[in-house]
Structure 1
Amino acid sequence: MPDIAPIGSRIGKYMDIPESAKGPAVDPAKGYRIQDLGKGLYMVTDNIYQAMFMVHEQGVILVDAPPSLAAHIPKAIAEVTRKPVTHLVYSHAHIDHIGAAQALAGKATIVAHEETLRLLQQAADPKRPLPNITFKDRYTLKVGGQRLELSYHGNAHEPGNIFIHAPEQRTLMVVDVVFPGWMPWRRLALAQDVPGYFAQVKLIESLDFDVLVSGHVARTGTKADVTLQREFIEDLKAAAGQALGSTALGVGLNPADGSNPWAVFDNYIDRVALQCVNTLTPKWGKRLAAFDVYIWDQCYTMEQSLRLD
């Protein structure tokens, strides 16, 4: 039997969130909180989604526009400055991170990767206006005395998902890759390229920063959070690989289903995932928030990637 309830099994309560995953509380009357990252850079969050804004001499550079923060971002900016939003940077094309762009950007210049432009052209979503400025590998957004270094490192979460580095503030924003203190969202945050996802986690760990803005969860991250996630996904890969190598086809399958290859492989994949889950639970079950929520997803994703990628 699995130590963790499999997908589709309803339970009375999920595991408690570890203290290490929690962040500062949000004032219920406001619905958001601001974190001062230094030298005119701020994060605004509802402790589920995160956006970032940078104040310069003429206005504000906003990074991402999640719909859940649409009503909060103008108020958060107004707490700091009355200057207008002059630039909006898209981390990537997904609507949950930039779906309030049309409402918040106004006449702002929008900057994004060229792959994000391509995806937004396909989506034809008026809530996500097309960027005015795009780049292929690197772009320096310098406005007044403020600077953001934008870079692209290939597909992982999705094409066009960029790294946003504020060097003076020693802050790095990468969305939907690392989740400080938490299990990644299901299926390794819906990574389109699993080997690319592994490579980007290692790359983030190698970079020079103090604060990580991840786009989600209740707090900012540190280099230690990235290391923890890298260690988890390496253990995930090892556990799934071991299960793939030690699990035989057809064990426990009704002989009458032997001519049904879909049933044969469903039986095999489920048992590989079960072994993977049970291998990881003793070490990681209480170290990462929501481990029990998505560990089956992660094991299914990992074994598929190892067999196919």
Structure 2
Amino acid sequence: MPALAPIGVRPDRYLPIMESAKAPPIDPAKGYRLQQLGRGLFLVTENAYQSMFLVYETGVVVVDAPPTYAKHLRAAIAEVTSLPVTHVVYSHSHIDHIGGVKELGGQPILIAQEETARLLTRARDPNRPVPSVTFKDRYKLQVGTQRLELSYHGVAHEPGNIFIYAPEQRVLMVVDVVFPGWMPWRRLALAQDVPGYFDQVAEIDRVPFETLIGGHVSRVGTHADVRLQLEFMADLKSAAATALKTTEIGREIDPADKANPWAVFDNYIDRVVVQCVNTLTPKWQSRLAAYDVYIWDQCYAMEQSLRID
């Protein structure tokens, strides 16, 4: 067993966050950090969630409004311009990224992929209004002299999760897929399609961006961050595949439990995951922030996908 607390066991403390994963600190008086990404394009974050907004001649386009800091988002916009928010782009349907949209005020045009519209219609959540403009594959949002290119690349994190690309500024925002400098959120960011998730990270690397907004954690990303995550994911897949093939079913279980197929299988899966974690830890625990927090989850998600997908 590696010296990492398994799921359900609280460590004295987690591994320290390496400097390469950190961003400038948040001003406690403001509660957010504002970062310019190019002409009229800005990141807003409290170093856990990320949004961006684009200022054009007569208004502002917001991409995502997390409920945790939607009021801060309004303050951040006011630092830059007094123009109204005219459009909001939903990256996808999840509450933690768009549940603060009403805090922006006014009646902006809401834009999303059609699967996001379907999920929000089903949810009937007054804090996540159904978008009035939807698209299937691609949508070009031209506002004054500014442009955002929205595109859908299939299911990975969830249906409807889109790429938002600002071509002039060479900024790409894709939420809950790549986590620059960090271990992905648990179980490959709760990916609903794990093979699709692998494909999508590779597709992100093919976009000609200079700055990547991942929607979470502290700093912006680069192609080097995408390739680091791809390398980790390849190692994860290899380690889980090897563990599945080399772990003997029923070897370390009380004979009295062998008539219980659920117990036999649970014992096998747990030992597969231990081997997967042991394989990855020497190389990766010092390369991705919060490696120790979610490595068990990643190995569970990977071995499950390899068995059933």
Q: Deviations over 1:17-73 (max 9, x none)?
A: 010100011111111010000110000000000000000011000000001111101
What are the residue-to-residue correspondences of 1:128-207 with 2, within 5 Å? 128-207=128-207
Give the fraction of aligned pairs with identical amino acids, expressed as a percent.
Answer: 68
Structural RMSD (CA): 0.7
| Letter aligned with residue 198 of structure 1 | F
Listed one character per residue, the Cα deviations across residues 98-120 of structure 1 (whole Å, up to 9, x for unaligned) are 00112215210000000000000
The answer to whether the 8 A contact 1:88-1:105 is kept is no
Q: Assess if the C-alpha contact under 8 Å between 1:3 and 1:278 holds in 2.
A: no
Aligned to 2:110: 110
The CA distance in 2 between the partners of 1:35 and 1:68, in whole Å, is 18
Corresponding residue number in structure 2 for 1:35: 35
Q: Distance in 1 between matches of 2:121 and 2:98?
A: 14
Q: How does 1:32-111 map to 2 (within 5 A)?
A: 32-111=32-111
1:235 and 2:230 correspond? no
1:219 counterpart letter in structure 2: R
**Residue 213 (structure 2) pairs with residue 213 (structure 1):** yes
CA distance in 2, matches of 1:137, 1:295: 34
Counterpart residue number, 1:282:
282
1:242-287 CA-partner distances (Å, limit 9, x unpaired): 0001001011100001110000000000000000000000000011
Structure-1 separation of matches of 2:209 and 2:105: 28
How many Å separate the matches in 2 of 1:137 and 1:209? 20
Structure 1: how far apart are the matches of 2:170 and 2:240? Answer: 36
> Could you say what secondary structure the match of 2:196 adopts?
helix
SS of residue in 2 equivalent to 1:68:
coil
**Aligned 1:259-278 pairs, distance under 5 A:** 259-278=259-278
Q: Secondary structure at the match of 1:217?
A: coil
Could you report, residue by residue, the CA deviation over 1:145-181 in whole angstroms, capped at 9, with x for unpaired residues? 0000000000000000000000000000000000000
CA distance in 2, matches of 1:189, 1:299: 13
Name the CA distance, whole Å, in 2 between partners of 1:12 and 1:21: 22
1:116–1:159 contact (8 Å) kept in structure 2: yes
Does the aligned pair in 2 maintain the 1:241–1:306 contact within 8 Å? yes
CA distance in 2, matches of 1:308, 1:102: 40
- String of CA shifts for 1:73-101, please: whole Å, max 9, x gaps: 11100000000000000000000000011
**3-state SS of paired residue (2:36):** strand
| 1:193-220 deviation per Cα after TM superposition (whole angstroms, max 9, x unaligned) | 0000000000001110000011011100
Is the Cα contact below 8 Å between 2:71 and 2:103 reproduced in 1? Answer: no
Runs of 4+, deviation exceeding 4 Å:
none
- TM-score computed with the length of structure 1 as normaliser: 0.99
* Local SS of the residue matching 1:34: strand
Q: Write the distance in 2 (CA, Å) between the matches of 1:95 and 1:77.
A: 21
Give 1:132's aligned amino acid: S
Matched residue type, 1:212: L
Q: Which runs of 5+ in 1 are unaligned?
A: none
Moved more, 100-109 or 219-228: 100-109
Is the 1:114–1:160 Cα contact (8 Å) retained in structure 2?
A: yes
The corresponding residue for 1:257 is: 257
Q: Structure 2 regions of 5+ residues with no counterpart? A: none
